[in-house]
Structure 1
Amino acid sequence: MRFTTRVIDGLTCPEGARDKLYFDEVQRGLAVRVTAGSSKTYLCQYTLAGAKKRVPLGAVDAISLAAAREAVQAILGEVAKGNDPAANRKAAAAAVKAQKAHEALTLDVLIAEWHRLGLAANKPAYAAEAVRALRKAYADHLAKPAADIDRKLVLKVHDKMVAAGKGTTAARVVAYGKACYSWANKRGTLSLNPFLGQPVQAPKERDRVLSNSELAEIWAQAGADTTFGAIIRMLMLTGQRRDEVAGMTWDELAPDLATWTLPADRVKNSTPHLVPLPAPARELIAAQPRLVRKAGEDDFVFPGRVGQFSGWSRCKERLDAAINAARVKASEEAGEDPALVKPMAPWVLHDLRRTLATGLQRLGVRLEVTEAVLNHTSGSRSGIVGVYQRHDWREEKAAALEAWAAHVAAVVTGQAVAGNVVKLRA
């Protein structure tokens, strides 16, 4: 059949057939495929190593007959050289598809998928912290393809955090990244894990215990009229973990605010934890406005702008700046040189928990009670002791936290002598 535009317009697919091929007598290898749906496509058919191959050229209304014949001539020329245009096009299409998939799977997308699927069985608190830490550490690289995150970049991010005095966080970020990429490796999404074998600097055990004067400064600048300030004071009064306090919901509290019960999925050791709340903590909670929430939304006591509070770094920097400004002001009012004022030694929110634990020991609180307050399962509450010792220490915890709250009150009002702690009566 000699192709012309009119001839091609008249080509049809036989009734009952899925498609039909018509070949041109002028240009060897040129064909038109007509489908049952009346679509018509130019293609080139050739034989290579005994096998018939076809290369689509485009719809007949998209390219001219002359252009189709020229395209076939070029393809047959490649075949004459021993090339396989069909295979080459297939490989090129696969490469384009792979590149699109490569670019689509950004680090941000990978972390989101890991959170949604890989961390589904983990505790919400761990999942949220892992995702938050990775996103923060790699904030400048979230738009990069996940496969382009290499060992060199991981080490650079880690070393930068260590140099900033965040060695513990840096080690955790590497651990989170390793878990995230290992999950992707197992799913076949990625083939490499840039976090494996990193020469991570082992985090040093922190031993920072805040002095009474430092507690007073922190309390004064962490105003209870802000969400972050209220959280700081709550951490100081109860010694619970940062995310436990930030995730506190109204339904975890007793109606009279006497106790706060953390469910198993919100604590590190998967054991429900009852915290007797001392009077200042109850007053702090009672002062928080209860916002109207939509159905299904968590009713947080200390909410963020959206959902749970999350502005830790920014608010901590502001608190440190406020403490330093107060020191400078006090120096000026005392007629001293403000240039000689030193900022408070570096501290982290977890130091408040350690300070409470140390303070309880100074108050003469039994170790078992201190560990019960902190919800620790190590030491006196682990192993066989933990199996047979089922006392919940509720009354003892309440007494200990009331005593600690009284000490904090004395400190922040200037009634306590620096370094002095009044012990509980035997």
Structure 2
Amino acid sequence: MARTINRLSHRKVETIRVSGMYGDGGGLYLQVTNASDGTPRKSWLFRYAVSGRERQMGLGPLADVPLAEARDLASIAREMRRAGKDPIVEREAARAEASLVAAKSMSFDQCATAYIAAHRAGWRNVKHANQWATTVATYCSPIFGKLPVQRVDVGLVMKAIEPIWSSKPETAVRLRGRIERILDWARVRGYRDGENPARWRGHLDHLLPARGKVRRVKHHAALPYVEIPAFVAAVKARDAVAARALEFAVLTAARTGEVLGATWSEIDLGGRLWTVPAERMKAGREHRIPLGDRAIEILRSMIVTKPNVNDHIFTGDRRANLSNMSLLMLLRRMGHNDITTHGFRSTFRTWAAECTNFPREVVEAALAHVAGNKVEAAYQRGDILEKRQSLMAQWESYCSKPVVHRSVTPISAGRAHSASA
């Protein structure tokens, strides 16, 4: 390599004797080296001294860093030297900080996935976890899912939930709560800081109308309890597994999913008891249900009609347990398009309040409702099984009571009879 090189400046090109270096002044040099094939490589260097020791800091290859940019970088480095700092040390510290920030940075979607994975074991079923993932993918991912979770602000949260706040209020409320939980998780894990932009009280409640003012909460449609005996008689007359499952649900006041997922291992025919394990209960607590004569009769009939199919009690023709839709379609075929299977729990609750003297806590325990407050829950440690046995026996007796069909004499016929008399 020639030892005679050119010195770059704004006004002239000066030949100087620096081996492999083109000096531009102020410590900036263009270094030229040869590759193994003889191809020259050109890159910028900033040369300076610290405590009498010379140091060289690379500023990038000539192909990527033009002269003007190289001079700007050299100027920044000189400012550091005047401040008593070592440019190489400062750059390494900045790179380390950037690497740390990148390592700690997670997108909202990544945080959502991590949150769901962390809480999946505590949720009562797989469906609940899938609902979380679906909600995030549908309403959050297209808007801010790929952004760093630290950048999610009130504007982005509103952009996700405001369009469905009026049209889909239940979905919107769940979505807001899920966003809030994910952002809280990210804050605790150190991926974001500051206030939670999805918080409701004292925050979003100033931007959005309360759910109750948007749309009235729709409860599960229920059959009046005075019509229950006739309904149960009509269901009993039907020869179908769905009919037996529906009748069993009415008699036990259990939730639809608890009935359809019931297995023989949960049943104690001798003890006349159905024990639903905690993982299948909404409240996550084991629930014992006393079984009356008709409930036992239904179970025994299922042993005869569906032997050794699988451990589920109510199974369909394809050897799988029934679905919610099978019971809903049964109700429709019976002409009850206006009620749901879950609504029979409300029917039971109304009947118990108006037709019996059982205390409220006994009825609530029969429905597997969690005690209303912490004090009440502390005192109510048992499940009041003995009292509930009497309650459920009375309910079954009421459901099974004979239906009286009164004959009605037409008015015209009655008048003709009086006239002849």
The SS at the match of 1:188 is coil
Q: TM-score, with normalisation over the residues of structure 1? A: 0.55
The structural deviation recorded for 1:384 is 7.9
Q: 2:393 aligns with which of 377, 384, 399?
A: 399
- The separation in 2 between residues aligned to 1:194 and 1:77, in whole angstroms, is 44
Q: In structure 2, which of residues 347, 361, 378 is the aligned counterpart of residue 355 of structure 1?
A: 347
Identity among equivalent positions (%) equals 18
Shift of 1:73: 5.0
Distance (whole Å) between structure 2 residues aligned to residue 140 and residue 388 of structure 1: 42
What residue is the counterpart of 1:188 in the other structure? 190
Q: CA deviation at 1:237?
A: 3.1
Write out aligned runs for 1:105-124 (5 A): 105-106=108-109, 109-118=110-119, 120=121, 122=122, 124=123
Shift of 1:354: 1.0
The 3-state SS of whatever aligns with 2:166 is helix
* CA–CA distance in structure 2, aligned partners of residues 416 and 31 of structure 1: 108
Corresponding residue number in structure 2 for 1:279: 296
1:334-413 paired onto structure 2 within 5 Å: 344-345=337-338, 347=339, 349-361=341-353, 364=356, 366-367=358-359, 369-376=362-369, 378=371, 382=376, 386=380, 392-393=386-387, 395-403=389-397, 405-406=399-400
Residue correspondence of structure 1 range 224-239 to structure 2 within 5 A: 224-225=240-241, 232-239=246-253
Aligned to 2:222: 209
Letter aligned with residue 46 of structure 1: F
User: Amino acid of the residue matched to residue 118 of structure 2?
Assistant: L
| Contact 1:237 1:281 survives alignment (8 Å) | no
Between the aligned partners of 1:393 and 1:266, the Cα distance in structure 2 is 24
**Cα distance in 2, alignment partners of residues 161 and 246 from structure 1:** 28
CA apart distance, 1:324: 6.0
State how many pairs are aligned.
330
1:155 aligns with 2:162: yes
Residues 73 and 391 of structure 1: CA distance in aligned 2, closer, same or farther (over 3 Å):
closer
Native 8 Å contact 2:277 2:287 kept in 1: yes
Question: Cα distance 1:310–1:326, how it changes in 2: closer, same or farther (>3 A)?
Answer: closer
Q: 1:94 to 1:78 in 2, by over 3 A?
A: farther
Assess, with a 3 A threshold, how the Cα gap between structure 1 residues 376 and 73 changes in structure 2: closer, same or farther.
closer
Q: Contact 2:315/2:321 (CA < 8 Å) preserved in 1?
A: yes
CA shift, 1:150, in A, is 1.6
Q: CA deviation at 1:114?
A: 1.9
SS of 1:366's equivalent in the other structure is coil
What does the per-residue CA deviation read over 1:137-193, in whole Å, with 9 as the maximum and x for residues that have no partner?
55523643434652232232332223xxxx5x6545543443333223222335564
The equivalent position to 1:141 in structure 2, one of 139, 142, 152, is 139
Assess if the C-alpha contact under 8 Å between 1:369 and 1:393 holds in 2: yes
Q: Tell me how far apart the structure 2 counterparts of residues 188 and 230 of structure 1 sit (CA, whole Å).
A: 53
Provide closer, same or farther for how the CA distance between residues 384 and 279 of structure 1 changes in structure 2, counting only shifts above 3 A.
same
Please give the alpha-carbon distance, in whole angstroms, between the structure 1 residues aligned to 2:231 and 2:255: 17
Say if 2:245 and 2:259, in contact at 8 Å, map to a contact too: yes
d(CA) in 2 for partners of 1:269 and 1:260? Answer: 17
**What is aligned with 1:248?**
262
Gaps of 5+ in 2: 4-17, 23-28, 36-40, 78-86, 407-421
Q: Which amino acid aligns with 1:157?
A: I
User: What are the equivalent positions in structure 2 for 1:48-127 lying under 5 Å apart?
Assistant: 53-54=57-58, 68-71=61-64, 74=67, 76-80=70-74, 82=76, 101-102=106-107, 105-106=108-109, 109-118=110-119, 120=121, 122=122, 124-125=123-124
Q: Secondary structure at the match of 1:393?
A: helix
Query: 5+ residue gaps in structure 1?
Result: 4-22, 35-40, 58-67, 293-298, 328-342, 419-426
Aligned pair in 2 of structure 1 residues 323, 116: CA closer, same or farther (>3 Å)?
same
Assess, with a 3 A threshold, how the Cα gap between structure 1 residues 114 and 219 changes in structure 2: closer, same or farther.
Answer: farther
Amino acid aligned to 1:179: R
Q: Look up the equivalent residue of 1:201 and give its one-letter code.
A: R
Note closer, same or farther for the CA distance 1:258–1:325 as it changes in structure 2 (3 Å cut): closer
Give the aligned CA root-mean-square deviation in angstroms. 5.6
Question: Given the superposition, is the C-alpha separation of residues 282 and 391 from structure 1 closer, same or farther in structure 2, using an over 3 Å criterion?
Answer: closer
Alpha-carbon distance in 2 for matches of 1:310, 1:171: 30
After superposition, what is the alpha-carbon deviation per residue over 1:219-243, rounded to whole angstroms, capped at 9, x for unaligned?
69x99556xx776554333222344
Paired with 1:31 and 1:291, the residues of 2 have a C-alpha distance of 82
| Distance across 1 between alignment mates of 2:162 and 2:240 | 40
Given that 1:237 and 1:404 are in contact with CA atoms closer than 8 Å, whether structure 2 keeps it comes out as no
